[in-house]
Chain A
Amino acid sequence: MSQFAINLLFVGASFALYIGIAVWARAGSTKDFYVAGGGVHPITNGMATAADWMSAASFISMAGLLASGGYANSSFLMGWTGGYVILAMLLAPYLRKFGKFTVPDFIGDRFYSNTARLVAVICLVVASVTYVIGQMTGAGVAFSRFLEVSNTWGIWIAAFIVFLYAVFGGMKGITYTQVAQYVVLIIAYTIPAVFIAMQLTGNPIPMFGMFSTHTESGLPLLTKLNAVLNELGFRDYTADVDNKLNMVLFTLSLMVGTAGLPHVIIRFFTVPKVADARWSAGWALVFIALLYLTAPAVASMARLNLMTTVYPQAAGQVESYEDAMDNALIYEERPEWIRTWEETGLITFTDRNNDGRVQLYNDGNEDFADTAEARGWEGSELSVNNDILVLANPEIANLPPWVIGLIAAGGIAAALSTAAGLLLAISSAISHDLIKTMINPKISEKGEMLAARISMGGAILLATYLGLNPPGFAAQTVALAFGIAGASLFPALMMGIFSKRMNSKGAIAGMLAGLLCTLLYIFTYLGWLFIPGTNMLPNTAENWIFGVSPLSFGAVGAMINFAVAFAVSSATEEPPQAIQDLVESVRSPKGAGMAVDH
């Protein structure tokens, strides 16, 4: 069977499974549609949350980011997992107790204000829409690489599949497909990693292999990696960073952003009890960690593999690396996987010094220029796109074709599961908060279901359109989504629970202040609405205020939100008694079962 046929088989089988689940899990009521009937087991919900959370970026790009940045990019690992600690302790159980369907529901009721509700709806829609663009383009890339269809067709197929189970099944359909998608993606991620860990270290568990001995050289794997990188003018893989403030703020921004993202929060509305919401967050993190503990191992091993592919003699026990450097890979003898990926343009080679060999080194390092010149090198000749690391893993490790088919299905599962979760958050905010609560409170249950389905369909069309015509700033939008969620939604939710004294004026002023400061800071460096050339300052470390990058500003925005909210609130009147009672009731788990049917 050809590789194409195998890929088609794996992806086709996974789609058949998702559609089968969609048929089985049709939503019969708004409660089914918004919170899957509220009866999802905490472990099941943990698994669904993991798939909901781990996007195309986690599956495809994160290992590449870690491989290229080494220690400095650990923020992604800690930020995207540490958010679950604050979610589990500061938000999830109380919002579950509140027992409504959406995030703006809580903000609108708690701050007894439709203005607050509207601000929350806008934040939610902007954060989720920017986030969904990346999922659609990610699915498009996976389709076009593995199924030999055009990018456009790939995105339409992805949209159609999501439409089937999200529009008919709502949260119920999404929950159970996400469970299936988690299983597909974690198997796809783990199998190649286990083989690579075995080949390099003899240890089948990647997270342990990373910290054990590299078989070929007898050195610890990371020591070996540092030595090889040093020889080529790169920074140590494990090198410390100078700008610690920025690393702390970036990690914190990712954490509060994670905790404030509505599509993650609403998953915790689907479990039966408050205690379940707490357990479920723990399970979600366990399932997420299975991938997040493997990713750094994949990253370091793939980086070493790449270097020793280019400099085969550098892999063994060597006193001096000079021989290895002279005997770099001959381009004509390059392995098959380099050839495959050259066709996609994600690996490119230019023989700058015409020696027929491949040189890969840090030609941006001025201190290294003399060494490079002495070796007769005239610039780094191989460029490798970060995103191919995970996708090319099975080929690098010489694994059988079915593993490649599995990776294809896994990448698509990661993109689709996150897209579906985001689309549900968007459509429920529109049909429930905007239409049912604010525009037409008399709408019937049936009418609301129809509105929910239509807004889901509309959201899918919008996402498809944006996936087909991605705005030039697609890569920067992640900063925007996390910035908005962290600087505006997270503080409002937390104060709504932890401060009885917080009133509507304080919360609205805080949300707007956090949001506007964050947007202002991001746009100053990345351009107004990300239009290239409209940035007021160049986006380089020297220009950042106190060395804080625009990506790290979400945490500062959150602090501004808290400060403004407390200042305004303490200068204005106390919230009404009914609201203070509401806060009391949210804080106690007692009677959560009854609250869900409203």
Chain B
Amino acid sequence: MADDKSNAAAYWKANVRLIAGCLVVWAFVSYGCAILFRPLLAGIPVGGTDLGFWFAQQGSILTFIVLIFFYAWKMNKLDEKFGLGE
């Protein structure tokens, strides 16, 4: 029982760490590249405008998709590793 408990706790800790990592990327592309750091990226041209504009209109959405699939894939591995899958 105690083992079960510490196993579950370790699983949860790994999950929270993974989420934190993913959300850093999530915030970096949308709030960072697309909004706050856009002036810093102004020197990088993309199709007639700058990289920040691309992130605001396409780049963040594409990154979001990759993030969710990456998270789902990683979590499947964690489920297996900790024996908590269905």
Contacts and interface: CB of A to CB of B under 8 A. Distances in A.
Contact of A81 (B11, B38, B60): B60
A278 B61 contact: no
23 contacts: A71-B53, A71-B56, A74-B56, A84-B68, A85-B64, A85-B68, A86-B23, A89-B23, A93-B75, A211-B46, A211-B48, A221-B47, A222-B47, A222-B53, A251-B35, A274-B86, A275-B86, A285-B64, A285-B68, A286-B65, A289-B62, A296-B58, A590-B84
Contacts of A263: none
A593 B54 CA distance: 42
Contacts of B22: 85, 89
Q: Secondary structure of the B side of the interface? A: helix
Contacts of B85: 275, 589-590
Contacts of B76: 275, 278
Contacts of A219: 48
Contacts of A89: 19, 22-23, 68, 71
Interface in B30-46: 30-31, 34-36, 38-39, 46
Nearest to A592: B86
B73 to A, nearest CB: 9
A82 B64 contact: yes
Interface residues of A, number: 54
Nearest to B65: A285
Given A71-B56, A77-B57, A89-B22, A281 B68 contact: yes
A12 interface: no
Contacts of A90: 19
Nearest to A219: B48
A252 B49 CA distance: 25
Contacts of B15: 587
Query: What size tier do the contact residues of chain B reach?
Result: 35 or more
Interface of B: 8, 11-12, 15-16, 19, 22-23, 26, 30-31, 34-36, 38-39, 46-50, 52-54, 56-58, 60-62, 64-65, 67-69, 71-72, 75-76, 79, 84-86
A591 interface: yes
B61 A588 contact: no
A275 B84 CA distance: 11
In the A-B complex, the 10 residue pairs with the smallest Cβ-Cβ separation, listed nearest first, are A220-B48, A211-B47, A74-B56, A278-B72, A223-B48, A222-B48, A282-B68, A296-B57, A238-B49, A282-B69
Given A248-B31, A588-B11, A589-B84, A222 B68 contact: no
A22 interface: no
A212 interface: yes
A278 B22 CA distance: 14
Interface in A268-311: 273-275, 278-279, 281-282, 285-286, 289, 292-293, 296
A244 interface: yes
Given A78-B61, A82-B64, A226-B49, 7 more contacts: A71-B56, A81-B64, A85-B67, A212-B47, A281-B72, A289-B65, A591-B86
B86 A223 contact: no
A200 B16 CA distance: 47
A252 B32 CA distance: 12
A238 B64 contact: no
Contact of B48 (A82, A221, A279): A221
Given A89-B19, A212-B47, A296-B57, A84 B64 contact: yes
Nearest to B74: A278
A562 to B, nearest CB: 15
A286 B72 CA distance: 14
B41 to A, nearest CB: 11
Contact of A82 (B30, B75, B79): B30
Interface in A84-100: 84-86, 88-90, 93
Nearest to B72: A278
A223 B48 CA distance: 5
A84 B67 CA distance: 10
